[in-house]
Amino acid sequence: MRRHLNTIYVTSEDAWVRKDGANIVVEIDGAERGRAPIHMIGAIVCFTRAGMSPALMAACAEAGVSVSFLTPHGRFQARVEGPRTGNVLLRRAQYRAADDPALAVPFARSVVAAKAANQRTVIRRALRDHGDRLDPAMRAVLEEAELRLGDCARRAMFNDDIASLRGIEGEAALCYFSGFNGLIRVPDPALMFGGRSRRPALDRINALLNFLYALLGHDCRSALESVGLDPQVGLLHADRPGRASLALDLIEEFRPVIADRLALSLVNRRQLGASDFVIDEGGAITLTDPARRTVLEAWTERKKEELRHPFLGETVTLGLVPHVQAQLLARHLRGDLDGYPPFVWK
């Protein structure tokens, strides 16, 4: 089983990241603020224009440590990595599956059904734990959403058309987010959810979700590359220049479980409030620097939580689940598994 390696998140604008022997060192204004052995690190993610020494970039490329540069709001900018590894036969199998609907549909079907089922579980848990405190109208909305998401999951499992599966995925997302306000238990109008808005985020909850989705996307892309798959060529999402379509495929199963639940926990536990967001002149909303650090700390702790994998029957950390699913997808494409077993959260 793969080890759960740490990720270094750099958020300070004046940071300088360098190599010192076999260590990664982070300095701010010339003073050392952190140090870690390279062999204990799986990735470095910079959310600023932080400088990085060429020697460290070369060492990370050689050691298989990915280095990603994102904007402070989580938009992907660039990635530094070493020579592409992995079995070329596996990639050829992936490309054949992407071009053949008969091979792509079973995977796409599993992903869409698992996403809808996991969204239903998020709502079901909220109804179980807090349903008696909900406004009756909102409780009815959530109960209806739970039923419709179950129907979406069932219809996805018996669908053989990629376009139809994409439509079911969109229907499930619309249904799920229609009741998202009912999952927010903080009575602050500034923290109301106004429907999904990606970039720019038009409310605070969307700004938080977008940031968490960017973190999750980075982890899914790294997981796919670690098993030798091409993250650009998707089986559910259509190919598009500059888009990691297979990483977007993989992320769908985990959005409700890892990202959405963490966003709700941060808000409902009042770890984040309205003052932790900034509204620019155009109306776009982003996290403040201290809030971003709070989210990254919570994200790191969340990934350390353990659960029993529904297919393997083994205990793994939540942060390793994308790597496990990437391995299962690789085994499926190689013909070692008859189907792709999606991650369904109980």
- Residue 172 CB neighbours (<10 A): 27
Gap between the Cα atoms of 338 and 100, Å rounded? 16
What is the mean predicted confidence (pLDDT) over 74-89?
Answer: 71
pLDDT tens, residue by residue, 183-197: 998 888 889 888 887
- Predicted TM-score (pTM) of the model is 0.83
Residue 2 pLDDT greater than 60, yes or no? no
Gap between the Cα atoms of 208 and 275, Å rounded? 13
Lowest mean pLDDT among 24-28, 201-205, 225-229, 305-309: 225-229
What pLDDT was estimated at residue 46?
Answer: 81
What is the mean predicted confidence (pLDDT) over 195-200?
Answer: 79
What pLDDT was estimated at residue 74?
Answer: 64
Per-position DSSP letters for 67-104, written without gaps between them: EEEE-TT--EEEEE--S--S-HHHHHHHHHHHH-HHHH
pLDDT tens, residue by residue, 258-303: 999 999 999 999 999 999 998 887 778 888 889 988 999 999 899 8
Residue 48 pLDDT greater than 80, yes or no? no
**Which CATH number is correct for 88-334, 3.10.450.100, 1.20.120.920, 1.10.3720.10, 1.10.101.10?**
1.20.120.920
How many residues in the chain? 346
Residues of the chain with CATH 1.20.120.920: 88-334
Residues of the chain with CATH 3.100.10.20: 6-80
Q: Residue 254: pLDDT band by 50, 70, 90 thresholds?
A: very high
What pLDDT was estimated at residue 223?
Answer: 86
Is 288 in contact with 277 (CB distance < 8 Å)?
Answer: yes
> For domain 6-80, is the CATH number 3.40.47.10?
no
Residue 87 pLDDT greater than 80, yes or no? no
Residues 6+ apart with CB under 8 A from 256: 115, 118, 119, 121, 122, 176, 345
What pLDDT was estimated at residue 95?
Answer: 95
Gap between the Cα atoms of 68 and 72, Å rounded? 12
Residue with tokens 């500034």: 190
Lowest mean pLDDT among 45-54, 103-112, 312-321: 45-54
Residue 11 pLDDT greater than 80, yes or no? no
Gap between the Cα atoms of 316 and 179, Å rounded? 31
